[in-house]
Amino acid sequence: MTAPLFAVFGNPIAHSRSPEIHQRFAKQQGIDLIYEKRLVSGSLKDAVQQFAKDGGVGANITVPCKEEAFALCSQLSDRAKAAGAVNTLIRLPENKWKGDNTDGAGLVMDLQRLNALKNGVKVLLIGAGGAARGVILPLQQAGAEVFIHNRTANKAQNLANQFHITALTFDELNTQDFDIIINATSASLSGSSPNLPPAIFKNAQLAYDMVYAQTATPFMQLAHLSGCLNTADGLGMLVGQAAVSYHLWHGFMPDMEQVLQKLRTQ
C-alpha cells in the first residue's frame, strides 16, 4: 500500500521546513507518509489539480498563495473565513477541497507553551496584513483583548471594524499597557523593525515576532533593549500551525515541543 501524499505549495518553496516537520510528526504517530515541496510557478489551481491527479490528500499553502487557495475551496472553516486565507487543504470527494487556516491556532499554541496567553491578556498586534488578519479570531477565542497598530492607519481600522477590536495610532500606543506585543509585519525579513515607541515594551511580559531566525530579530532586539524581559520568534508558531494541520488530516495531535527542540538545534 502506497503511503498517503501531502505537499506544501508556495513560491519560493525551497526553504520550507514543512516536510521535515511532518515527517517527524508521522514518526511520533508511527505511520508513513510522503510530503513534498511543490513550487507554484503558474496558477495554484493548476498545481492543486495536478496534485489531486497524483493522489494528494492534503496540503499546506504558504506565501503568496493563501488567498488563491481560499478561492479554490468548496468548504471553509470559520477561521479560514475570518482570515480570508487558507493554509491547509483537506481533500473531499469529487476532487473538491475544504480549506482551513491553522496559523492563528499555531500562534495560540506557542503563546500557551510560553505561559504568556491567559484570559484577559492585552495583546498588541503590529501590522494589518494577512499575517495579522489570520490570528485575530483565534486570539480572541483564547480570551485575549486585541489591539492593532499599523503604519497605514486605515488598514488597521478596517481590521478593527471587522473584528470589533481597537485600532491605535502611533501617538495612542503610549496610552496603554500591553501584556504581549506581536510583530505581524515582515520587517524582520529585511533586517529592520517596525517604528514603535520604546516605552510600550517596559511593562510587556512578552515581545513575539512571527518571523523566525537563527538570532534575535531586530524587533526582538528593540524589545529587549526597551526593557521587555521575554522575547520569542515565530518558530514555535510554525511548528504549532503544522501540528494543527497534521491533526486535521490524521486525527493525531503531535508533540510540538519535541520537534521544536530538534529544529532549534539544527
Render pLDDT for 90-141 as a digit per residue (tens, 0 to 9). Answer: 999 998 999 999 999 999 999 999 999 999 999 999 999 999 999 999 999 9
- Asked whether residue 199 falls in the same domain as residue 259, the answer is no
Tell whether omega for the bond before 197 is within 30 degrees of 0, i.e. cis: no
C-alpha cell at 60: 499546506
- Asked whether residue 122 falls in the same domain as residue 151, the answer is yes
CATH number, domain containing residue 81: 3.40.50.10860
266 pLDDT higher than 90: no
Supply the range of the domain harboring residue 228.
104-233
- Asked whether residue 116 falls in the same domain as residue 193, the answer is yes
Render pLDDT for 213-239 as a digit per residue (tens, 0 to 9). Answer: 889 999 999 999 999 989 999 999 999
Please name which of 184, 80, 66 lies closest in space to residue 124, comparing C-alpha atoms: 184
- Asked whether residue 167 falls in the same domain as residue 146, the answer is yes
* Res 146: pLDDT: 98
Express as a percent the part of the chain with pLDDT over 90: 93
- In order of 56, 59, 67, 182, 235, the CA distances from 229 in angstroms are 45, 38, 36, 14, 19
Alpha carbons 40 and 96: distance in angstroms, whole number? 19
> Given its phi and psi angles, is residue 127 left (phi above 0), alpha (psi -120 to 50 degrees) or beta?
left
- In order of 34, 70, 81, 261, the CA distances from 48 in angstroms are 16, 12, 20, 32
- Is pLDDT larger for residue 130 or for residue 165? 165
C-alpha cell at 23: 515527517
Residue 66 annotated among the catalytic residues of the structure = yes
Average pLDDT, the chain: 96
* Res 2: pLDDT: 86
189 pLDDT higher than 90: no
Alpha carbons 69 and 63: distance in angstroms, whole number? 11
* Res 233: pLDDT: 97
Our count of domains for the chain comes to 2
Q: Which of 66, 96, 118, 262 is catalytic?
A: 66
5 pLDDT higher than 70: yes
- Asked whether residue 83 falls in the same domain as residue 193, the answer is no
* Res 1: pLDDT: 65
- In order of 86, 118, 199, the CA distances from 143 in angstroms are 23, 7, 25
- Asked whether residue 137 falls in the same domain as residue 220, the answer is yes
